[in-house]
Chain A
Amino acid sequence: MKRTLGTGLAVVLLLGVVTAIVLGQGSGEQAQLQTVRGVIGSEKLAFFADQRVRDVFAKHGLKVEVDPAGSRQIATATDLNSYDFAFPSSAPAAEKIQRDRKAARTYAPFSSPMVVATFDPVVDLLTKAGVVKTGPGYQTFDVQAYLELAAKGTRWDQLPGNTAYPARKNLLVTTTDPRDSNSAAMYLAITSFVANGGVVSSQDAEAKVLPAVSKLFLDQGYTQSSTEGPFEDYLSAGMGKTPLVLAYEAQFVDRVVRGDSSVRPDMKLLYPAPTVLSKHTLVPLRETGDRVGQLLQSDAELGRLAATFGFRTADPRHFNDMTKEKNLTVPQTIVDVVEPPAHETLERMLEAIAKQY
């Protein structure tokens, strides 16, 4: 008893000293912090706004200020001159910026696979329909089988034996608007790969796949412009409104980590086979921006924090530790991952779809 108390006291004392040192450092450095400005895909806004993340950057003498923007917008429309780095959520967008700005290198400190979030009854239905399959340790969403159902304009109530969700609407994954959003572009990367039987890399292939992939967007009618929209509907309005929603794995994991009970037990993640990774890629535009890239890539604390926001980190340990700690059942590795088409190809297809609205 006595001994325990003694140790406890020592810890408190030690903590006090450490706190004093950290605080001392913090206030000393406050004045010398160098401001770095970045334009980032909005999915990472919460990460950069987090006080713990700011503290790590401050320890390295940096104050990072960010403006959120759509990843496609960052690549094409945003005036990048006032920024030290650009941090879009996809590799094709980063490629284009790197080329335009002649950046020497890029950093891909974290990524997140595209997933389809759904509900138990829908998993059962789609398993019977041959769309959901048991993969290597996780359930997959067979994109080929899905495209076949979608091509026929299948409605939910036309699935044989469907009493769980007999909705009189088309069996479609809810996405965002292909005219605005990165996640919709990633979805196009997946579906065009499958429709073409490989990465679309020629105008012939574009023409070949466009009718089928356009339908996946157009038949949804109105779609929201930010990925948060349909995912929030999935969480709050449930299966009736959004039986299948395209999301970043990070969105789902982030909610589970938060533990705010918004993810209910009947909510399930499916990994499209194949899927693509949304590779959050930082393009340094100035020296200070490069330092942010280095830190994100190599700093263990930032890696751990990124994992708590649901991102898969360059060093997979952080993500894996976090999932173990939180008892999360997500696959450590996803096997069936394909590359998105080149930026120009993706843009051309998106524009061709936009014209049909």
Chain B
Amino acid sequence: MIRRLVPAVAVVALLAGCSDSTDPDRPVGDAAPGTLRVLAGSELADLQPILDEAAKATGISVKFSFTGTIEGAEKVASGAAEQGFDAVWFSSNRYLELVPEAQKRLGTPAKVMSSPVVLGLPAEKVKELGWDGRRVGWAEIAEAAGAQKFTYGMTDPSASNSGFSALVGVAAALSGSGSALDAARIDAVAPQLEQFFSAQKLSAGSSGWLSEAHARRATGEDPGAEVDGLINYESVLLSMPQPLTLVYPSDGVVTADYPLTLLTSASSEAREAHQKLSDHLRSADVQRKIMETTHRRPAVPQVQLDGRFAVRDLVELPFPGSQSAVDGLITTYFDRLRRPSRTLYVLDTSGSMQGDRIDGLRQALVGLTGADESLAGKFSRFHGREQVTLLPFSSSARPALKYEVPQDDPRPVLDQIRTTATSLDASGGTAIYSSLRGGYAVLRQQIDADPDRFTSIVLMTDGENTGSEGITDFQLFHQSLTPDLKGIPIFPVLFGESATAEMEQVAKMSGGKVFDARSRSLSAAFKEIRGYQ
């Protein structure tokens, strides 16, 4: 699901006993007896202790490589997954099965556990809303959200399955027709959906980061405005250190069912390994252990749900039956339903960026204007209504280039951004902090004119600061900012010879997150950041 590539790669390396394989098609190496190579959603990482025990019991060890659902679907559909994997394991096969080229490559699935996507709110908030001790439906939740009676965080539906499930669920429930969604039905409930999403104040590319950011904002560790609740997996919400009260919408949910699915290309050894491992994971004792340690629901009827699951029988909402319906829903979410974004790109165009680096930067930006035709690329383009500001800098900040992408006909503005991006040139010094400071002046103006947006800053630089203002000056400046500016997350991108420690500090003070582009393209990093904007 999640595209936190850096920790993922680190985990893989650890699991593989630090393999020397760097073949991008075979991140976990060649087929080997007793090994199941699995392309998976990163939320499966918490199953490692269970899998370690499974390895002891069955002799089959799992080697994970993590990716997002949509990227994963793309890898399966293109046949790339078959090159280096025996099986896939995501929170659900639903999206994969809607892509015909991916569907035909999926073999036997074994559902291992399940977890519905629900709303978690602080107990006092639930009481205040009058939802204590009674079930409420999505319509009532949407209405309360529209009236700003509570706020919440949710992951990006194109990057992470929990956000995706929530989007499908709320749209299906509100459409009221009760059957699967199509474009006309989505249109009919767009006003209600807009209400619901108006209370979403936090977005993230991964379920894990979302809960962490929520917790940090609650304690004041992050400067961003506190967010009441979260939409996330029941399992994630149940394992939070400060537990939230779970709201199970009475009209239904969308549930992740984690099918460990063989690829049809798998060898007969891998088939046997898959069978053995599935049987083990689905045995009653292991199912109970999964429930106890990961808070997910068991997949076999022999194991009874224990007391932690407050609501047992959950209505499952219908899921769209075609890829075009799903893609349409995600596109509508970005271009129309959710609060629009305001994104400021502070971009290093100093002399050291000459050559491949400036070219990589141009490509990364051009990719976001719709040139990236991959499934994942399609959704990460600049969205309708988004305010995009490019602030290139070298020895000092250059003039800010401001764009607003229209909702209905985005193409001309996207083309303008593309033209600007391709004409970026590299020369001069690297005045990081004075340029970053300058960015806040632009944002101040924009926020004053139109406060209700997801606002964030991307800071891309390939080296040490050469300007007269340093990190300490910036820190003082940042502390003096008004709360609305101080709470804007900064997403620094590590590239070339970036000053890693300083970038970490910038991310931390602003409640942002560092993205690493040193071992992958800037495009990949920029795409991943889209989930947080």
User: Which residues does A use to contact B, with CB under 8 Å?
Assistant: 153, 155-157, 166-170, 172, 177, 218-226, 229, 232-233, 235-242, 260-262, 264, 357
CA distance A335 to B43 in the complex (A): 51
Question: Is B320 in contact with A221, judged by CB distance below 8 angstroms?
Answer: yes
Question: Is A222 in contact with B321, judged by CB distance below 8 angstroms?
Answer: yes
Closest to B92 in A: A222
Given A153-B177, A168-B173, A219-B180; A240-B318 close (CB under 8 Å): no
Residue of B114, B176, B251 most packed against chain A (CB within 10 A): B251
Question: Is A236 in contact with B299, judged by CB distance below 8 angstroms?
Answer: yes
Query: Within 8 Å CB of A226, what residues of B?
Result: 109
Query: Within 8 Å CB of A177, what residues of B?
Result: 97
Question: Is A155 in contact with B97, judged by CB distance below 8 angstroms?
Answer: no
Residue in contact with B319 in the complex, picked from A222, A238, A261, A357, CB distance below 8 Å: A222
The A-contacting residues of B in range 213-271, CB under 8 angstroms, are: 250-252, 255, 257
CA distance A153 to B97 in the complex (A): 26
Provide the main secondary structure of the chain A interface.
Answer: loop
The A-contacting residues of B in range 169-200, CB under 8 angstroms, are: 172-173, 176-181
Query: Within 8 Å CB of B180, what residues of A?
Result: 218-222
CA distance A224 to B98 in the complex (A): 10
Residue in contact with A262 in the complex, picked from B302, B317, B320, CB distance below 8 Å: B302
CA distance A239 to B177 in the complex (A): 20
Closest to B325 in A: A221
Question: Is A172 in contact with B103, judged by CB distance below 8 angstroms?
Answer: no
Residue in contact with A221 in the complex, picked from B176, B181, B298, CB distance below 8 Å: B181
Question: Is A170 in contact with B103, judged by CB distance below 8 angstroms?
Answer: no
Question: Is A262 in contact with B301, judged by CB distance below 8 angstroms?
Answer: yes
> Does any Cβ of A come within 8 Å of B46's Cβ?
no
CA distance A302 to B302 in the complex (A): 29
Question: Is A357 in contact with B321, judged by CB distance below 8 angstroms?
Answer: yes
CA distance A222 to B169 in the complex (A): 13
Residue of A157, A221, A264 most packed against chain B (CB within 10 A): A221
CA distance A260 to B303 in the complex (A): 11
Question: Is A169 in contact with B318, judged by CB distance below 8 angstroms?
Answer: yes
Interface magnitude class on chain B: 35 or more
Question: Is A223 in contact with B321, judged by CB distance below 8 angstroms?
Answer: yes
> Does any Cβ of A come within 8 Å of B75's Cβ?
no
Given A167-B251, A237-B316, A241-B314; A222-B178 close (CB under 8 Å): no
Query: Within 8 Å CB of A261, what residues of B?
Result: 301-302
Residue of B114, B298, B301, B325 most packed against chain A (CB within 10 A): B301
Question: Is B315 in contact with A240, judged by CB distance below 8 angstroms?
Answer: yes
CA distance A166 to B252 in the complex (A): 10
Question: Is A155 in contact with B178, judged by CB distance below 8 angstroms?
Answer: yes
CA distance A177 to B325 in the complex (A): 17
CA distance A184 to B487 in the complex (A): 53
Top 4 A-B pairs, shortest CB-CB distance: A221-B180, A219-B179, A168-B251, A241-B316
CA distance A169 to B319 in the complex (A): 11
A-B contacts, 12 listed (Cβ < 8 Å):
A155-B177, A168-B252, A169-B178, A172-B179, A220-B318, A221-B318, A222-B97, A229-B109, A232-B299, A237-B114, A238-B312, A238-B313
Query: Within 8 Å CB of B302, what residues of A?
Result: 260-262
Question: Is B109 in contact with A221, judged by CB distance below 8 angstroms?
Answer: no
12 new A-B pairs (CB below 8 Å) besides A155-B178, A168-B252, A262-B301?
A153-B178, A168-B251, A218-B180, A218-B321, A221-B180, A221-B181, A222-B321, A236-B300, A240-B252, A240-B313, A240-B314, A262-B302
Question: Is A169 in contact with B300, judged by CB distance below 8 angstroms?
Answer: no
What 0/1 readout, one digit per residue, does chain B (437-460) give for beta carbons within 8 Å of chain A? 000000000000000000000000
CA distance A6 to B300 in the complex (A): 47
Query: Within 8 Å CB of B312, what residues of A?
Result: 238
Question: Is B321 in contact with A221, judged by CB distance below 8 angstroms?
Answer: yes
What 0/1 readout, one digit per residue, does chain B (99-143) give for beta carbons within 8 Å of chain A? 000010000010100100000000000000000000001000000
Residue of A156, A218, A232, A236 most packed against chain B (CB within 10 A): A236
Given A155-B178, A236-B299; A357-B322 close (CB under 8 Å): yes
CA distance A155 to B298 in the complex (A): 29
Question: Is B114 in contact with A168, judged by CB distance below 8 angstroms?
Answer: no
> Does any Cβ of A come within 8 Å of B94's Cβ?
yes
Closest to A243 in B: B315
CA distance A153 to B180 in the complex (A): 11
Q: Report the minimal beta-carbon distance from A189 to chain B, rounded to whole angstroms.
A: 21
Question: Is A170 in contact with B298, judged by CB distance below 8 angstroms?
Answer: no
The A-contacting residues of B in range 9-66, CB under 8 angstroms, are: none
Q: Report the minimal beta-carbon distance from A8 to chain B, rounded to whole angstroms.
A: 36
Given A225-B103, A262-B300; A167-B321 close (CB under 8 Å): no
Residue in contact with B318 in the complex, picked from A166, A170, A225, A262, CB distance below 8 Å: A170
Given A155-B178, A221-B180, A262-B302; A167-B315 close (CB under 8 Å): yes
Q: Report the minimal beta-carbon distance from A159 to chain B, rounded to whole angstroms.
A: 12
CA distance A238 to B252 in the complex (A): 13
CA distance A178 to B180 in the complex (A): 16
CA distance A6 to B322 in the complex (A): 71
Query: Within 8 Å CB of B179, what residues of A?
Result: 153, 169-170, 172, 218-221
Q: Report the minimal beta-carbon distance from B437 to chain A, rounded to whole angstroms.
A: 50
Query: Within 8 Å CB of A167, what residues of B?
Result: 178, 251-252, 315
CA distance A168 to B138 in the complex (A): 10
The A-contacting residues of B in range 287-339, CB under 8 angstroms, are: 298-302, 312-322, 325
Closest to A236 in B: B301
Residue of A220, A222, A233, A241 most packed against chain B (CB within 10 A): A222
